[in-house]
Amino acid sequence: MKIWLVRNATLVVAYAGKRILVDPMLDAAGARPAVGNTANDRRNPLVELPANADELLGAVDAYLVTHLHQDHFDDGARARLDPSLPLFGQPEDADRLAADGFSDLRPVTERMDWDGITLVRTPAQHGTGEIARAMAPVSGFVLSASGEPPVYLAGDTIWYEAVAETIAHYRPEVIVVNGSGARFVTGDPIVMTADDIAQVRAAVPEATIVVDHLEAINHCLETREDTARRLTELGARERVIIPADGEQIDFELL
């Protein structure tokens, strides 16, 4: 199994003989306005795709879209992706993706099997209170396959009871969490802070945690350096990988 971080939450996951592109945000830097009601007005994305992006995106077998916010599926993705490839995601997003021209939609209500890989849709909560209700629906996914470690893609979620229950039930060996503590001017963070990631670490000490969703969108406030420093302060830095854009993680070598 390998994971490449492209940028933000955009990943390529090599798993059970397939390459899955997750949450493709492919716009050029500065193509979109800043997220409103946030602490700065920098246009998004904040950074360009990495130099190896064409190589990473060039040979994938399917797409997995956790939800349709622009930092997970944007106009660049609509223009660039092959609409005939399988696209897994939330049932609530199927009509909009069909209107975008994607012809092999595979909405995951609870679970789905695909060429030896099982995908299970899991709960996610994108903030608290009214903000979380406004940001819904969002999802996570657990991947499993013979000969591969169970992988939990937590999606845009804070640490809350359903995430803890997902971890306890599936005991994933690899967990990808969306960090940065993104937030609006008012209200609580809408994705995991470093303190939330420490809760994940405590829930499953034997797992490898990969932190993405950093330094690419204007309301993502915690940097890679911030995240590493805080996890170290909390005694939760062990087995946590914070990759750079374009970086490969080969789990057979860990």
Q: Where are the domains of the chain?
A: 2-253
Q: Is the pLDDT of residue 171 over 90?
A: yes
Query: What pLDDT band is residue 112 in, cutting at 50, 70 and 90?
Result: very high
Is the Cβ–Cβ distance between 112 and 106 less than 8 Å?
Answer: yes
Query: What pLDDT band is residue 239 in, cutting at 50, 70 and 90?
Result: very high
pLDDT digits (tens, 9 = 90+) for 131-145: 999 999 999 999 999
Query: What pLDDT band is residue 222 in, cutting at 50, 70 and 90?
Result: very high
Q: What is the pLDDT of residue 227?
A: 98
What distance lies between CA 143 and its chain's CA centroid? 13
Tell me which of 3.40.50.1220, 3.30.420.40, 3.60.15.10, 3.40.50.1580 is the CATH number of domain 2-253: 3.60.15.10
Q: Cα separation of 154 and 104, whole Å?
A: 24
Query: What pLDDT band is residue 39 in, cutting at 50, 70 and 90?
Result: confident
pLDDT digits (tens, 9 = 90+) for 46-77: 999 999 999 999 999 999 999 999 999 999 99
Q: What percent of the chain has pLDDT over 70?
A: 100
The mean pLDDT of 222-239, rounded to a whole number, is: 98
The mean pLDDT of 226-239, rounded to a whole number, is: 98
Is the Cβ–Cβ distance between 73 and 26 less than 8 Å?
Answer: no
Write down the mean pLDDT value for the chain. Answer: 97
What distance lies between CA 130 and its chain's CA centroid? 22
The mean pLDDT of 186-212, rounded to a whole number, is: 98
Kind and range of the H or E run holding 89: strand 87-89
Q: What percent of the chain has pLDDT over 90?
A: 98
Q: Cα separation of 102 and 180, whole Å?
A: 31
